[in-house]
Structure 1
Amino acid sequence: MSSEFSIGFLPLVDAALPILAFEHGFAAEEGLKLRLVRDVSWATVLDRLLYGHTHAAHMIAPLAIATTLGRGRPAQPLVVPFALGLNGNALTMRPELAALVAPQGQLGDPAQVGDALRKVAGARLAEGNRLRFAVVHRYSSHNYMLRYWLAACGIEPDRDVDITVVPPPFAADALEAGEVDAICVGEPWNSVAVERGAGVIVLATAQIWRRGVEKVLAMRKPVLDERRSEVEALIRAMRRAARQFVGEDMARENAAILARPEYLDGHAGLILRAITDRLCLTRGSQPFHFADFMFQYREAANFPWVSQAQWLYTQMIRWDGGAIDMDDVARAGAVFRPDVYRSALLGTDEPLPAASSKVEGSLARLTAVGAQQGAIVLADNRFFDGRVFDPYEIEAYAASSSRPGR
């Protein structure tokens, strides 16, 4: 019998790949006996991982980097051999705020919403009642995407608006209770807020960065070193789950699986919307289709690009303060392990990029890129403000990313 491999997760749609790798038997076919451990906050997911209660975790990508660099707690080296997906989050506002800054019945344009929000934020600041946004963790892509967007629109986070932390399962509750004016969270929690009439989905974070790195599979480096063959088997199983996940014919079945009490404990219909890139922006409205709202398979979506880890590091420095340290740039990049991903899938029919880094935000159209195996075509990966991140020009990029008013 295969030895057990435990994975922590939060009740989010983007925890799908390890869950479906287990439920559809892909892990068992690779000789793995998975145990899935549900938690309620990213802090508890991380604690369970670091103290050895789980072998791996569904995790927000920046948290793996922050933990490795010793930000917020003593450093422990984590590694990321697999990205669980790109995109998948949204910005949901209380209806009265959404009515002031966004069009009805469609997602807003990030620049136009930001321009309108700047005026509202200024008025609220003058009243001594700053707008309050909730993100899921200090070291989350949600926090960095939100801050990136606000700053590009001339709104200074922490000065013009407040940003607080609310774990994903409680985000809709915080919005409904009026504790926050907006939430940036993954599905199904935006849709839960919409169904309650507590929120309106205004933007998808994919509009801020079209191919933004999101959740990853993270583990302590000693676990990878000791159980390398099992980790590679898990990568193969989850890649099979990703291929199956994006097929329309399995969407309803997968939504029903994820909705079970032991997983998301939610409404299968709301989960199905996210899986099929269809969201109801307001209560009672028809589903709105936004292509690639969640992105789990095509264009090497599961490949752990070193450049994406390094972009996250630049945002960590930008918002925590301090200067770029090139040793830390290298350490942050080394958290993502494309070598393990390649080793797991070499010789299969899965395409493998030839490079481990790329210029982020540089593509506006379909572009064929070099492949070690198979063929890879990448699509639009732009940031909404047109900026480009070149991993070989990190210091210049960071220097040009000053905070508003600084």
Structure 2
Amino acid sequence: MNNVPNKECSLGLTSGAPGHPVGNVTKLLIVDDLPENLRALNAIIRADNRAVYQASSGEEALALLLEHDFALAILDVQMPGMDGFELAELMRGTDKTRHIPIVFVSAAGKELNYAFKGYETGAVDFLYKPLDPDAVRSKVNVFVDLHCQRMEIRRRVEEQHTMMNELRAAQEELRYALRVRDEFMSMVAHELRTPLNTLFLGTQMRKMQLERGNLEAFGKPALEKMVEGDGRQIQAMIRLIDDMMDVSRIRSGVLSIRPAWTELQAMLRRLTDDLSRQAQDAGTTFELEAPETVSGWWDEFRIEQVIVNLLTNALRYGGGKPVRIRLTTSDTEARVDVIDQGPGIDEAMQARIFLPYERVAGNGVPSGLGLGLYISRQLAEAHRGTLTVASRPGEGSVFTLALPRQEKPAA
């Protein structure tokens, strides 16, 4: 008599003692009201990588059926209370248990025609006592193999479903990347075209004046105005190129910070003076509140870059109302608040504005590539600081740059 168990489902299963499953094993259910019958049947069908669950009543069996996924249920027909046929009908009426193969076992004679009734209730086999151990073992192995095949098919379907989801996600990411690339190229072309067109028109006007011999058009006041205008357009293009280079440095992890002893009060005064012409063009003014000097170890060039971004954004979205800049300090940090009185930013947009290429409609001030706040937050975090926004629709916005104060540069 061959008593060597089959290898069950080759899905990385873990062996456990019968009745005490460990890990993902093949589960079998036997139901009989007599303990000696349960012990005998358990001895016949138990094997490595199997867990045999025992129930002495239909009610106890139903509780196990709702909790576990069984490869096979072997039911005794004649039990007090709920008999095997009634249990089978209940199993066939529930989605979770409808698929479980049922084998009936009975000690009654064949003349009672129990087998016919068993097959009517959905049984796959009917066995009479006394049981032939080899026959029982062989039948159980067949149903275990079928269960393993179903589990393997289910696993492959789930893998295919997962792969399809991953493929769809990858396709969506690719479409998004292509859309961002196209939008980025369009923005770059648009933002560079404006200063280039201005420079081109200026050179055409000068060329026309030279061809006409109108040298009076190049007097000192006119030349100063030309040089100033050319410088603004060139600086605009340089800023765009610098932003693109900074994004590349950030993503490649080579953005450099060079801390030095830096004073913020004088920096804010200088920057608001430098941007006063831009504020005038936007129909507004700056209101600086910086009553005391505040110094620390920061990269002056990069902090200027952050503050200029915040100031130009406040002009762009401030609705033509005054922009307040407030400098405060504590023993551990310095804070620069840039406060506008614009339409505000809703909560959903507050997280998005710090993403690259995100732009919202302003008041006519050139909007750039949508990189300013993204770069600024990265620069703040490179200083071990933060850049945050507090805003409500209709109540303006407060952008806060918080920088740690240190006695010497961070390593």
TM-score when scaled to structure 1? Answer: 0.22
Rg larger in structure = 2
TM-score when scaled to structure 2? Answer: 0.22
- Higher RCO structure (Cα 8 Å, ≥6 apart): 1
Higher helix content, 1 or 2: 2
